[in-house]
Chains A and B, each alone.
Chain A
Amino acid sequence: QVVESGGGLVQPGGSLKLSCVASGSNFRGSPVHWVRQSSVKGLEWVGRIRSYTNDYRTAYAASVAGRFTVSRDDSKNTAYLQMNDLQTDDTAIYYCARQLDLLVVAFDIWGQGTMVTVSS
């Protein structure tokens, strides 16, 4: 089971930090991704963090690069998405998801999603 938390209402320019806790599912050796979904843009990949075997390397969509940061704490089986300088078009449901394996970038385990609303 994967549970996200940390969503809410924030003003433009504000910050939020989302958490993604995996219980019963081992994220430790797997890349973890963040995907968001809005009625305007549909499903949109946000970013990912690789495992310790790949030096926790990160990658981001151009629309969030420089504003969002993905991190993880494997001792807590938790991934994070720090979101800064939020804009109205960042409003979406945010999901974390586990990558199926190192070669196939498919998401086999998803959280339930957490809603982020950016509005004044």
Chain B
Amino acid sequence: DIQMTQSPSSLSASVGDKVTITCQASHDIKKDLNWYQQFPGKAPKLLIYGASNLATGVPSRFSGSGSGTQFIFTISSLQPEDLATYYCQHYESLPLTFGGGTKIETK
């Protein structure tokens, strides 16, 4: 199975900050990587697919990059409504696996 390692597991940031989360895959997954946002008690929401493609209706302050084994998720200017937990997920092969999550809190 491909292991997805996210870092950091949590971070504190202020509104307006640029926030970066990394996801490392244990094997080459090309660009088969998605990012999700999740609020407590809610289902995850797709933000980025195929490493860098913005899902429908997602604000442009969210972006993704990377290929192979190293991926980056960026919020260019953190907004109060972005305080949530973010997950990466690969789809290069079965089984699909998720990263452990990054919780963004306010500083």
Contacts and interface: CB of A to CB of B under 8 A. Distances in A.
A104 B56 CA distance: 14
Given A43-B89, A112-B43, A106 B98 contact: no
B55 A108 contact: yes
B100 interface: yes
Interface in A92-119: 95, 97, 100, 104-108, 110-113
Indicate the size class of the contact surface on chain B: 20 to 34
Interface residues of A, number: 20
Interface stretch (B10-18, B20-28, B44-52, B70-78): B44-52
Chain A at the B interface: SS class: strand
B16 to A, nearest CB: 29
B56 to A, nearest CB: 8
A43 B91 contact: no
A95 B100 contact: no
Contacts of B49: 100, 104, 106
Contact of A100 (B32, B43, B46): B46
A105 B91 contact: yes
B98 A44 contact: yes
Interface in A27-53: 33, 42-45
A55 B32 CA distance: 24
B96 A42 contact: no
